[in-house]
Homo-oligomer: A and B are copies of this chain.
Amino acid sequence: MGITVGLFGFGKTGSVVANEIIKSPDCELKWVVRKTKKNEGLYASHLLGHEHDEGRIYSASDTDFEGLYKENRVDVIIDFSSSGSVDEYTGAAKFGTRFVSAISNYEPGDLGRLKELSTQTAVLYSPNITLGINFLIAASKVLQKIAPQADIEIVEEHFRDKKDVSGTALRIAEDLGLDKNKCVNSVRVGGIIGKHEVIFGLQYQTIRLIHESLNRAAFGQGAIYAAQWLMKKKKGLYTMEQALAIKLG
């Protein structure tokens, strides 16, 4: 059969993620919870150009979450909405549901509640849930250990209207113990979807690790990968790096 999934978030990224879940032969999208009332009661599948019914849309403000979690129990809830949603889905844990959160900017309190949740069930949290970015981070850490003398800088490129410095770039800098204010270079031009380059400079050689996003659907594939991996895990808080590392054994 595959994994049954509930999705929080149906915005720019959320809808692309929904589409990936619908297309995946290993997953079934049972429902979607979104903030607004738009398209409430319709199926995400129809809105995304599919003919069959999959992923009924619920509006957060109108939903009896207790009933939803009980009668439409899902194996995994995937969260691409925003910081506060954690409050709405903690109740699903008692039905055995696991959680994958891809929220990029958590309020401290909400992150705390996500951690509490992991004492009841398996929770994976990754603000950058693509396979490629997580490989980039893991490989960068390894290279830094092998070549501690290397100078490291990060260049991240995104579309002109992206305001903040890439959270992923800051995360890489943090994980490598670098000064965030000095080593992250941000390029904002045109319609670049997302490129992250970690440059390791040695005296006689340069090593570059580059990740280029072609489409937001990469997030959906990362979330599905995480959900599948999480199905075999006991309660606890996990990271995407762990999910990827397990395959290296």
Binds B, one of A25-33, A97-105, A188-196: A188-196
| Proximity string of chain A (55-84) to chain B, C-beta cutoff 8 Å, 1 when within and 0 when not | 000000000000000000000000000000
Binds B, one of A119-127, A165-173, A198-206: A198-206
Whether B191 contacts A131 by the Cβ 8 Å rule is no
| Proximity string of chain A (174-215) to chain B, C-beta cutoff 8 Å, 1 when within and 0 when not | 000000000001111111110000011111111111111111
Whether A199 contacts B187 by the Cβ 8 Å rule is yes
Whether B185 contacts A187 by the Cβ 8 Å rule is yes
Given contacts A146-B247, A202-B218, A248-B142, contact A135 B188 (CB under 8 A): no
Binds B, one of A1-9, A153-161, A231-239: A153-161
Whether B217 contacts A212 by the Cβ 8 Å rule is no
Please tell me how many copies of the chain the complex holds. Answer: 4
Contact partners of A207 in chain B: CB under 8 A: 132, 135-136, 209-212
Whether A155 contacts B214 by the Cβ 8 Å rule is no
Whether A187 contacts B146 by the Cβ 8 Å rule is no
Contact partners of A209 in chain B: CB under 8 A: 139, 207-210
Cα separation A146 to B134 with both chains bound (whole Å): 10
Given contacts A142-B248, A143-B139, contact A204 B191 (CB under 8 A): yes
Whether A189 contacts B199 by the Cβ 8 Å rule is yes
Cα separation A187 to B200 with both chains bound (whole Å): 11
Whether A206 contacts B189 by the Cβ 8 Å rule is yes
Whether B189 contacts A152 by the Cβ 8 Å rule is yes
Interface size on A, residues (CB 8 A): 53
CB distance from A248 to the nearest CB of B (A): 6
| Proximity string of chain A (126-148) to chain B, C-beta cutoff 8 Å, 1 when within and 0 when not | 00001110011011001101110
Whether B210 contacts A204 by the Cβ 8 Å rule is no
Given contacts A143-B135, A145-B248, A210-B207, contact A150 B202 (CB under 8 A): no
Whether B189 contacts A150 by the Cβ 8 Å rule is yes
Across the interface, name the chain B residue whose C-beta is closest to A158. B201
Contact of A206 among B138, B152, B202, B214 (CB under 8 A): B214
9 contacts between A and B (CB under 8 A): A131-B202, A142-B248, A146-B248, A185-B186, A192-B201, A205-B212, A206-B214, A207-B210, A207-B211
Counting from the closest, the 10 A-B pairs by CB-CB distance are: A190-B201, A189-B201, A151-B189, A204-B218, A185-B185, A208-B210, A204-B215, A191-B203, A132-B205, A206-B212
